[in-house]
Every structure is written in C-alpha cells, then in structure tokens.
Structure 1
Amino acid sequence: MNTSALFQKYNLSKLPELIFGKISWRRPRWLSRIIDGWTRFERAHPRMIAPAIIAIFLLSCGTAWTWNWYSHRPKERRVQATIAPVSITKLEKELKFPPLNVYFSDHAARLEDLQKRSLSGVHLNPHIAGTWRWSADDILLFEPKEDWPAERKFVVIFDRNFFPHHVRLERLRYEFKTPALTIAIRDLVLYQDPINPAVRQVTATFEMSYRVEPGELERRLEFETLGASKIFAAADPSPHFTITYGLHHRVAYLRSSPITLPEREDWLKLKLGKGVRASPGGAETHQSLEEKLHIPSVATFFRVESAKSVIVRNKKSDPEQIIILNTTAAIATRELTKSMELWLLPKRNVENSNTRPEKSETDEDSSEDERVTDDGVKSK
C-alpha cells in the first residue's frame, strides 16, 4: 500500500486540522506590492535578475562587515566621576560643614587650577554658598559656607572647558542627594528631685541630625499611659511637658509635669509623630517614633536592690567594716536608719558538725562576720 492510499484510507490529511484547527494566512499589502513589482521587473528585464540578486547579497555582506567593524573599533577613553555621599554635620560648638567630594577615575585637573583657592566652570544646582577647589588632580572639593539642607537633590554641572582638551568626561551632569532628617530619643527616665524627693518627673533627650525650630517637636509629641493610669494631676493641662532646646537646636530636652505614682505599675509611652521639619531645606521626617517607660507603683517605687559589706581603713589606718545599700530611689539617711536593724548571729558549733572539717578560730570569726554583713540586714 502506497502513501497516497494510506492517506485516503485513514483520512490522515485532516489530522493537522483536527489537532491545530484551521490556520489561514494572508500576506500583507506591502509584501504583495513587492512581489508584484519584482514580477513585473523580472518580465521586463529578465537578464538583470541575476546581477540584482548578486548586488543585494554583496550589499548585505558589506553592511554586516561594517557593523562588526564599528562595534569592535577602539572606543574613546572617557573619565568617570563619582560623587561621595555627603555626611551629616558633626555637632560641635563651632560647626564645620562637611565638603562635597568628587572623585575622578583619571587625572582631570588643569595644572594652573591646582593652586587656585576658588574655581569657576563648575556649578551646583540649586545654588548653595561655597567654593570649589582641587585637593588633588583627581579629587575635586566643594566647601560649603552653610549647612547642607536635609533630603535635597543637587546637580553638579561641569562646563566643557573646565577640563583640559585631552580629558573626555563620561557626562557633564551628576546628581546626588543629602541625608534625610533623623531624630533619636535618648535617656527616657523617671527623674526624682534630690532636694524634694516628692517631686517626680519624666525626662528625655532628643538628638536631631539637622536644626529644628522651636515648636516642631511640641506639636507632635504626646504622652499615653498604656494602663490608663492617671499619673498627671487633673488640674494640669495638656501636653504635660516642656521642651528646652540645646546646642544649635539639634538637641532638645523634655521635662514632664510632676507625676503621681499609680496604685498599680503601668507603662508610659512617649510618641513623636512624623512630619517634623528641618530648618535648612524644610524636609520632614517620614516615620513616627515611640519609646516606653516603666512607671512603678507606690509599693514598688522604693526598694533595696542590693546590700554588701566592705572593709575600709579609716584615717588612722584601722580596718572598719561598712555596709553599702543600693536603693531604687533616694531616701533620707535618718529615715533609712529608723527602718534598719543589724543582727549578730551566734557562733556555729563546729565541734558537733560532722559534715564539714574542723576550722580554726580565725576562719570561724571570718565566717561569722560574713554572715552578719550579708544576711544580718533586715527591714522593718
């Protein structure tokens, strides 16, 4: 059985149609015009067909060779510039604004410009007061006369004649961005007045990376007691705190109104909302800050944390034994002595003890002293 008979018997010619369906293609008009034009040209000039095909082939080969040569030809060496990130101005009594450093991949300075204290031909947009100078033939510095604004985008623009003729820069415009405003809450503590122990306040310190004008923190600060305890007096109006600004308005000190210890322990949350504006540039913070402080109750505010004894020598160089107490809050010495007693424990009967070896009288006295100092402190 031949192939044709096999196709007719099993109708295999319709198998592709059964699998893929009917597929029809219609050539576009532009292709039809090219084919029709080529047909007319072939009928009119039958002897020109072979030379035309050869010409098209040679033209294609020439185009491919030209593109390969162009893509592999030696490229012109260009100097690259890299802008280092601008750092935050260090908080000091006399502020020293950090410079902008531009590093080049090769020597880029004119010899006559290396000794100049101020250069022209390079610009900073937006403008900020300062001077440009070369610190080396491949390092360009911009020394500002004012602090950098927070979170601001700058563009460094070079003139074409700023560099020597043989120096080809990769591009003449470079962008960089200054750091954002950051705020940190430090030393959130419950403070007790050493002169008047009845006065207790919450204190905290704020550290900012840029200058902040008065009022920015006050409008976004708030206290919240997680257990809903009433620690502030009812007659005390909100916001229950005052802010004092320190060095260059980059440090702020918070002091709350006097608080009353609750009946039960609680937590106080200090929240700083987002949107605090920096003085240079007006950039705002994008996130809120929160810190929590444990507020003890009336019963747990004062307690003895530790007690230990030490031997010191007095003015006559005689050894004396003293007891050191560490407490969680200040207390008057007179009040403390009223609530303390020292107990002298009896000596141990070492002779009747079968569990430990016999000790000398010196060791026995030392053990007695240790018990008196470590275990003999009681509170009424």
Structure 2
Amino acid sequence: MKFLRTLVFSPIRLIVFVLLFMMRLGRRIVRVIVGDVSWSAPAWPRAVARTVRRCPLRVAGVLVLALVGWYGWHWHQHRPKPVEPERVTFEVRAPAVTSYADSDGRSKVDIQPLELKFSRSAAALDLVGKTVAGGVKMEPSLKGEWQWADDHTLRFTPAMDWPVGAHVQADFDVARLFAPHVMLKDDRFEFDTASFMAQVVSSAFEQNLLDPASKQVRIQLRFNYPVDPVALEKRIVLALRDRSGKTVKSLRYSVTYDEVKLNAWIHSEPLEIPRDPLTVQLEVDSGLVSTRGGNQTKDALRASVGVPGLYSLDVVGISPTLVDNDRFEPEQVLVMRTSGDVRTQDLAAHTKAWMLPRHKPGSGLSDEDPPYEWQLGEVDDGILRKAQPLALESVPTAEEYASMQSFKYRAEAGARIYVHIDAGMKSSGGYVLGEPMKTVLTVPEYPKLLRIMADGSLLSMSGSKRISIVSRNVRGMKLEIGRVVPEQVQSLVSFNEGSYSQPRLRWDFDEDHIVERFEMKRSFPAGDPGKAHYEGVDLSQYMKSGKRGIFLLHLSGFDPDLKTKQDDTSPTMTRTMRRPSRIMNSKTKQAATVTTAAKARRTRA
C-alpha cells in the first residue's frame, strides 16, 4: 500500500515542486521589475492533494477510466468505414421564354421545355426515350408530359404555355421515376419562369421620303410575352418639351402592333418645324401586363427624341478626292455631305471655292519651295483677292435631292483651297443652313504610276522589238535589263520557287549569278500630272550578234535632276514575260524559236 501511494504521489509532488519553483522564480523576477506583488494560492490544489491522500485508489481508478475512454474514442474514430455510394446530383435548366412567332413574324407558338440534367445515369433502361406517367409532383400543378430524353436528361413539356413569372416547386417519386440503384442527393427542386418585361428598342425622328414636309417621332417597344394593348395605351404620355424640360405641347399618338403583340410602335402626330430644337418625351407608367396574366412591370419606360429646329441643316464634311473617269484618268472632285437632302443646284449656288496663293505674301519664297500651309483664320478678303477662283462643275445625282454631292474642279496638286458655303440653303424637309460653312483643304497629289503594260507579247526577230511602258506623275524611269546567260538557263529553272510570271529565286542565289546586266535611263516630258504618258523601249540593241534568250527587266522611277536618286517610296511588283517568236532561214527553211522574258517593277504612289 505504501508503494502504491508513493507511486501515485510522486508525479503530483514533482509537478507541485516544479510549479512552486517557477512561482518563486517568477516572484523574484517580478519583484525586481515591478516590486512586491501579493498572491495567495487557490484552494483547489490543496483540496486535490487532500483527496488523493485520502482516496488514492479512487483517483487511480478515475485516471485509468479516463485513459480507457480516450483510447476507445480514438479507436472508434479510426476504425474501417464502409464505402458509401456516390449520390446523384442534378441541374435544373429553367424553360426559356416561349416563342410566339416564326422568322417571318407570323403567329406560331413554340413552348420551350424544362430540363433536368443528372450527374450520372439515372434512368431505368426501359424508360429511356419513353414518356413517364407521374413520378413528379409540381406546385402549382401543371399538366404536361415527362420524358427521359436520355439516361441523363429528364424533360418536361407542358400541355399549355408556362405561367408568367411563376415560382414552381416539385418533388420526385424516386422509386417510380429512377433506376433502383440510384441514390439522389436531393429529391426536391424549384425554378422560376420568366417574368413579363418591356423595353424601349428604338426611337427616331422620321421624315417621309415621299412627303418631306411630313415629320413625326416613332418609338418601338418590345415585350417578351404578348402585351395587353389596353393596359399599355392608357399608360402612355407623349409630350413636346423645350431645353429647360418645360412641356410645350401634349402630343396625340397612335399605337400599332405586330401580329402576336410582342412589338408596339408609338407614332406621334405630325410635327411642325420649330424655330429652336425641341424634344419629344415618352413615358410609359409601370403596371404593364401580358394578355396571359402574370406579374406587372415595376419600372416605368422612358425615351426622348430630338426634334431639329429650323436652322438645323449642317454641312457634315467636305473632302477633296480623286475619282477615275470613263477613260480611267483621275479627276479632282470635292465631295460634300450635308445632314439633310439638298438640291444640287441650291448647293452649287451657295458654294464658292478659291485656290489660295502658293506662298504667303511677303515671304520672298520661290515656286520651287513647298506651298504654304494656310489656316482658316489667316484667310481674309485681302488674301481672297489674290487667290484664284475655282470653277465648280456639279456631278449629277440619281435623285433630285441628296445628302452627298460632288463637284469637279481643277487646281494644282498640293495647293491649299478655300471653300465657302453661304447661309440660307434649304433642305428638302424645309431646314435652313443657319451659319456659313468655311474650310481650308489640301488638293491631293495624283497617284504615281509606272509599269510595263502587257503581261506578254510576241517579239519577232525580223520586226519591232519594243515594249510599252505607261507612266503618270513620274519624271523619268530607270530600266535595268538582265540577259540570262544561255549556259545558266537551267539555273533559272532549277532555283525558281515562284512562277515564270513572278520568278522568285531561293536561298542566297540571285540574278547576279546568271545574268549580264544593262541599264537605261530616260526622262519624261513635263505635262499634266493627271494624264497617262506612254513610252516605248526598243530591246533590239540587246539582241545583236545573235544574242537571244530570256531577259529580266527591272523598272523603277528616276529623277533626272538627281542622277543618283531613285523613288524608293514606291511599291514594287516583279513580272516576267515570255515572248516566243520564229525566224525563217531562207536557205534551209527551218524554224528557230527565240524566247524573251521581262521582269518589271511597277511604281504607284
């Protein structure tokens, strides 16, 4: 008994000793730092010590029971557990809004189904593709047909259209609807059908094309279910308001619908042209309903449309451009765009144009210097007296009135021109240009053109051996002529990765390996930069002494004033022309074939 008591008390005495030692040490440390601190031990350690001394066996029994209990809990938590089968989940796909019209707008009801997509195969094999009688209880009750579309998809198609904005709850009869082995995670589901909604689709101020004086505002509303016309029309308020928002006039209106009443168009009464711009304001109060019942709309619909004032005609833009005529020659044209349709004669009567001086007066610059960049604020009556008036030739339009008009003119390329359109011009709808339009524009440069005209021709050895070159707005040309050495013709064939009309040599192999090169430079006569110039080049001098074969030609621009300058800014095109011809030998009457090829570079800016 004494040994057992010693065995029980020894750990406790050790713990008490350690605690007392730590307390004494802590007391000394605290006394050094903060001074004396008074503390008395709680009563429970002494009570525990007394209990252990009086009843050591009971205390030991309690400790043993606690140890056994902890071990039992640990064993229970870590014992092998049976594998629980995976439960089947599903996704509810609420039905889309029913379609009430076909692509042509004719009435055709197409009810969209409700679908349940299961995570695993859930249907019994004998039910796949078949209708299921019962198995689902819905609240509110809906008549229809349940069908397993496949073993993962359960579909419900109602006999009547879905209720508008309804909340539907449903319960599964698992034993009746699913395969016996299926364990569902949840046997209930719920979904909502689409609520009735309305929106403003478009709003516009319209002018009758046949009667330009007739003007009105049209606003389109769209609904996802057929709208109740009575509920809609009694909630419409249409008013004409000024810039401050004050109502100038309440407007009468009419409403038209499509066949299935999914769209409504609100038409205002005919509007007169106000002096100042106004706004037509539409407000449709909340509470709209569908003919099929259901919820009411909670928010009001609003739309506003601007009504142009009398002086609302504007010149949207004026742009100079080049347009090819029937002879494929570029002509200078001013394109003018207005906010309304105007008559060509009226626009021509109100429009004047001048080509401004090349240089600012007093600058001392010569004609060789680039033209001065005139700004609109620098042009006054004094400058216009020194400017050259331009004759504007109107281009006829298909209709009497048009919003885009064109005028031909003749001016120096790169020059600055001043265009003035007087106020007072009227459009077909009665609107007036309130302020004059003024602008300064730059005449565009004519596009550069330099190329060999034909893709191929026959060069007779006994006749002319000329090729034709067409140019425009180019001062000269440089023609590089490369004659393929007869011994290297096979190299051109072997290393050509392109075609014979567009040869492209591969790797680091180029023409310099196989040709002997000549060069020809020629100046073109000065003339109209918009007119095409044609030049002939005679290749006979390169075919003397019986030299025949394939010639590669490179054509590029050339400035005669700068002998070494080449127009590198022009895009390049490579062309090869193969031109066979026949020569008759008067003695043997045998035919020989001569082939000439040309590769050209075309320059166009």
Matched, 1:66 2:104: no
Greater displacement, 94-103 / 58-67: 58-67
CA pair 339-53 structure 1, distance change in 2 beyond 3 A:
closer
The 2-side partners of 1:60 and 1:281 are apart by 66
The 5 Å alignment of 1:295-314 reads 295-300=307-312, 302-303=313-314, 305=316
Pick the aligned partner of 2:91 from 78, 82, 86.
Answer: 82
Matched, 1:247 2:259: yes
Instruction: Name the structure 1 match of 2:37.
Output: 12
Instruction: Name the structure 1 match of 2:277.
Output: 265
Secondary structure of 2:303's aligned partner: strand
Contact 2:317 2:338 in 1 (8 A): yes
Quote how far apart the aligned CAs of 1:101 are: 1.3
Quote how far apart the aligned CAs of 1:276 are: 2.4
Quote how far apart the aligned CAs of 1:89 are: 2.9
CA pair 323-97 structure 1, distance change in 2 beyond 3 A:
farther
The 2-side partners of 1:256 and 1:59 are apart by 88
Matched, 1:371 2:388: no
Instruction: Name the structure 2 match of 1:341.
Output: 349
The 1-side partners of 2:87 and 2:173 are apart by 16
The 2-side partners of 1:209 and 1:312 are apart by 54
The C-alpha deviation readout for 1:317-373, integer Å capped at 9, x for no partner, is: xxxx99997654567x6xx756753889899999x965579xxxxxxx999873279
Secondary structure of 1:249's aligned partner: coil
Quote how far apart the aligned CAs of 1:298 are: 1.7
Matched, 1:223 2:238: yes
Quote how far apart the aligned CAs of 1:216 are: 2.8
Quote how far apart the aligned CAs of 1:160 are: 2.2
Pick the aligned partner of 2:221 from 206, 213, 224.
Answer: 206
Matched, 1:136 2:146: no
Pick the aligned partner of 2:171 from 157, 161, 172.
Answer: 157
The 2-side partners of 1:160 and 1:228 are apart by 64
The C-alpha deviation readout for 1:263-309, integer Å capped at 9, x for no partner, is: 22233332333332234452233333333322211221x45556799
Q: Kindly provide the amino acid, as one letter, of the partner of residue 275 in structure 1.
A: G
Matched, 1:117 2:131: yes
Matched, 1:181 2:219: no
Greater displacement, 322-331 / 156-165: 322-331
**TM-score normalised by L of structure 1:** 0.68
Secondary structure of 1:216's aligned partner: helix
Q: Kindly provide the amino acid, as one letter, of the partner of residue 272 in structure 1.
A: V
Secondary structure of 1:254's aligned partner: strand
The 2-side partners of 1:205 and 1:160 are apart by 49
Greater displacement, 179-188 / 134-143: 179-188
The RMSD of aligned alpha carbons is 4.7
Please list every run of 5 or more consecutive structure 1 residues that lacks an aligned counterpart in the other structure. 17-23, 26-34, 233-237, 314-320, 358-364
**Over alpha carbons, which structure has the higher Rg?**
2
Structure number having the greater helix percentage: 1
The C-alpha deviation readout for 1:6-29, integer Å capped at 9, x for no partner, is: 97x944116x9xxxxxxx99xxxx
The 2-side partners of 1:312 and 1:154 are apart by 71
Q: Kindly provide the amino acid, as one letter, of the partner of residue 153 in structure 2.
A: I
Contact 2:98 2:110 in 1 (8 A): yes
Contact 2:147 2:155 in 1 (8 A): yes
Matched, 1:166 2:204: no
Contact 1:204 1:254 in 2 (8 A): yes
Contact 1:192 1:329 in 2 (8 A): no
Structure number having the greater strand percentage: 2
CA pair 268-83 structure 1, distance change in 2 beyond 3 A:
same
Greater displacement, 48-57 / 367-376: 367-376
Pick the aligned partner of 2:121 from 95, 101, 107.
Answer: 107
CA pair 256-68 structure 1, distance change in 2 beyond 3 A:
farther
CA pair 49-305 structure 1, distance change in 2 beyond 3 A:
closer
Quote how far apart the aligned CAs of 1:184 are: 2.3
The C-alpha deviation readout for 1:121-158, integer Å capped at 9, x for no partner, is: 12332223321111111111112333333332212321
CA pair 343-268 structure 1, distance change in 2 beyond 3 A:
closer
Contact 1:227 1:267 in 2 (8 A): no
Quote how far apart the aligned CAs of 1:53 are: 4.8
Q: Count residues with an aligned counterpart.
A: 332
Q: Kindly provide the amino acid, as one letter, of the partner of residue 185 in structure 2.
A: E
Instruction: Name the structure 1 match of 2:287.
Output: 275
The 2-side partners of 1:367 and 1:192 are apart by 30
Contact 1:231 1:262 in 2 (8 A): no
The 1-side partners of 2:140 and 2:109 are apart by 22
**TM-score normalised by L of structure 2:** 0.45
Matched, 1:285 2:270: no
Q: Kindly provide the amino acid, as one letter, of the partner of residue 241 in structure 1.
A: Y
CA pair 175-67 structure 1, distance change in 2 beyond 3 A:
farther
Secondary structure of 1:341's aligned partner: helix
Please list every run of 5 or more consecutive structure 2 residues that lacks an aligned counterpart in the other structure. 1-23, 103-107, 327-331, 359-365, 372-389, 394-406, 412-416, 426-605
Secondary structure of 1:95's aligned partner: strand
Secondary structure of 1:215's aligned partner: helix
Q: Kindly provide the amino acid, as one letter, of the partner of residue 12 in structure 1.
A: V
The C-alpha deviation readout for 1:190-237, integer Å capped at 9, x for no partner, is: 1223344333211011111122211333343333525346654xxxxx
Contact 1:342 1:372 in 2 (8 A): no
Contact 1:207 1:252 in 2 (8 A): yes
Secondary structure of 2:409's aligned partner: helix
The 2-side partners of 1:10 and 1:58 are apart by 48
Matched, 1:147 2:161: yes
The 1-side partners of 2:206 and 2:281 are apart by 16
